[in-house]
Amino acid sequence: MASPLEDILANEALLKDLVSVAKDAALLQGVLMRTKEEPNASEVVSYAPFTMFPSPVPRPLFEQAKQVQRDFNLLVDRISQDTEFLEQALASTIKVDDFTAQLFKIYRQVLQEGLSQPIVLGLNRSDYMLDYGKDGNTSLKQVEINTIAAGFGGLASWTPTVHRHILKVADKSDEGFRIPDNNPTKGLADGIAKAWEMYDSKSAVVMFLVEDFQMNIYDHRFVENELWSRNIHVIRRTFDEVCERGSLGLDKRLFIDGLEVAVVYYRNGYMPQNYTEQRWEARLLMERSRAVKCPDISTHLAGTKKVQQELARPGVLERFFPDDQEAVVRIRATFTGLYTLDMGEEGDRTVAMAIADPDQFVLKPQREGGGNNIYGEDMCKVLHNVKESSERTAYILMDKIRPQPVMNILLRRGAPLTPSTCLSELGMYGVYVRQGKEMVLNDCVGHLLRTKSTEHDDGGVTAGVAVLDNPLLC
């Protein structure tokens, strides 16, 4: 897929000028991150890494991703309510994956006690790559769905302005209209605000559950400030602060520092290293509480890789859409090959298939956050080590998606300013609010494009591999 902007890449003098224009535009728009050296120092910031130019995305595939997002919102929510399915889907995984097992332990305890809050808030992001097939056709294929801490909605709301300005300076302003408007900040805040309103206590607060090191704080701040503009009080607390000062009051109302918490928005808690024994206790405290959790523990589990693989089995989607075959077709059209590694003949065939042709597949553990997937010879080594052991059930196997590379320049502090061959990943933000059996809100509220050099197999923006981008619809 050729970019209409490749002629600029050959103009060294223009590129030199555009680098300064681009960086300053990002700083002016607040597309910022703190530095790795001083992640908690607000006065030490840089522009968040981003591409010099927007990357081409076929308009029909972009629209397809938007349209199917409401279906995925419903799917995730219905999975979260299906105890039997979650028990069956994760039965093998929780025997060998301690992190998923700890989440499932909390899930079982909350179910046993009875849910304290009928309001459910989902802020998720479904990620795709554009698979360039052998027949020359390009199709939309899902990489994963993130049901916890789906980031960069705040910064993504301002990158269109940055790229439109760069194109104007490069005398390509006519291309700017092909960059779609994007404001996930508002949409994410809409969901949180709706849940807060339904909690029905004007003195209660929204709590962002955050990491100790906060490089990406400005992404959060955009959403926080949108909530403040609606007179919704927002606080930021870490797991350790909840451990030390959090408590349950009457009717399991959650309190911290004397403030009642209406909504807990998890921007932390998606990786094993986020937890200690005390932090697991804090997670249980919050899950048992009357506060609206985003996500609640069942929705967190619904986003696991093992659930993703189980959904690709014949007939499983129909379980969740018994009266909507069109939704089943829309969702299934985005699936690529997903294979079980459970013990037994089917799992044995998966192991043999992957070892015989490793370049066709990706090995995925039950992890979020980027940089966890395993490829090529590394995948073969892992599979050889676990093929006779139940440890293999901690993974799933997925067909490798093969997008068509394009040329771009990745602007990252301290990195060389040279054109790179790049691949992109498109995400769609979904927001839903349910009360009991009634779906109150269900929408697609924006998108995120991330781009990385082809020299990297895996890794996100925070990991220092991918950068922020915008679709240039073609």
**Is 398 part of any known ligand binding site?**
yes
**Is 370 part of any known ligand binding site?**
yes
Q: Write the DSSP string, 216-281.
A: THHHHHHHHHHHHTTT--EEEEEHHHHHHHEEE-GGG-EEETTEEEEEEEESS-SSGGG--HHHHH
**Residue 52, helix vs strand vs coil:** coil
- What are the structural domains, with CATH classification, of the chain? 6-335+405-473 (no CATH), 337-400 (3.30.1490.50)
Q: What is the DSSP letter of 374?
A: B
With the C-alpha atoms ordered 17, 23, 26, 28, is the resulting torsion angle positive or negative?
Answer: negative
Give me the residues of the chain with pLDDT under 70, please.
1-4, 369-370, 458-459, 463
Across the strands, what pairs with 142? 128
pLDDT for the residue 459: 63
**Is 146 part of any known ligand binding site?**
yes
CA-to-CA distance for 473 and 57, rounded, in angstroms? 5
**Is 199 part of any known ligand binding site?**
no
**Is 425 part of any known ligand binding site?**
yes
**Is 368 part of any known ligand binding site?**
yes
- The number of residues in the chain equals 474
CA-to-CA distance for 42 and 186, rounded, in angstroms? 24
Q: At what angle do helices 12-29 and 159-169 cross, to 10 degrees?
A: 150
**Is 225 part of any known ligand binding site?**
no
pLDDT for the residue 3: 66
pLDDT in tens, 278-326: 999 999 999 999 999 999 999 999 999 999 999 999 999 999 999 999 9
**What is the strand order of the sheet 338-339 is part of?**
338-339, 395-399, 361-365
The identity of residue 282, as a single letter, is A
> SS3 letters for 309-345?
HHHCCCCHHHHHCCCCHHHHHHHHCCCCCEECCCCCH
Residue 76: which residues within 8 A CB-CB, separation 6 or more? 122, 124, 145, 147, 299, 302, 303, 430
CA distances to 129, 140, 363, 426, 458 from 132, rounded to whole Å, are: 9, 9, 20, 15, 18
pLDDT for the residue 468: 98
**Is 373 part of any known ligand binding site?**
yes
pLDDT for the residue 372: 83
pLDDT for the residue 250: 87
Output the six-digit token pair for 360: 């066709």
User: Which residue in this structure is represented by tokens 């498109």?
Assistant: 426
**Is 345 part of any known ligand binding site?**
no
Output the six-digit token pair for 41: 């120092």
Output the six-digit token pair for 170: 């490069």
**Is 339 part of any known ligand binding site?**
no
**Is 236 part of any known ligand binding site?**
no
**Is 330 part of any known ligand binding site?**
no
Nearest CA among 202, 274, 218, 217 for reference residue 242: 274
> SS3 letters for 377-428?
HHHHHHHHHHCCCHHHHHEEEEECCCCCCEEEEEECCCCCCCEEEEEEEEEE
Per-residue burial over 69-105, b = 16 or more CB atoms within 10 Å of its CB, e = otherwise: bbbbbbbbbebbebeebbeebbebbbebbebbebbbe
Nearest CA among 208, 205, 204 for reference residue 239: 208
CA-to-CA distance for 170 and 265, rounded, in angstroms? 40
**Is 450 part of any known ligand binding site?**
yes
**Is 178 part of any known ligand binding site?**
no
**Is 436 part of any known ligand binding site?**
no
The identity of residue 467, as a single letter, is V
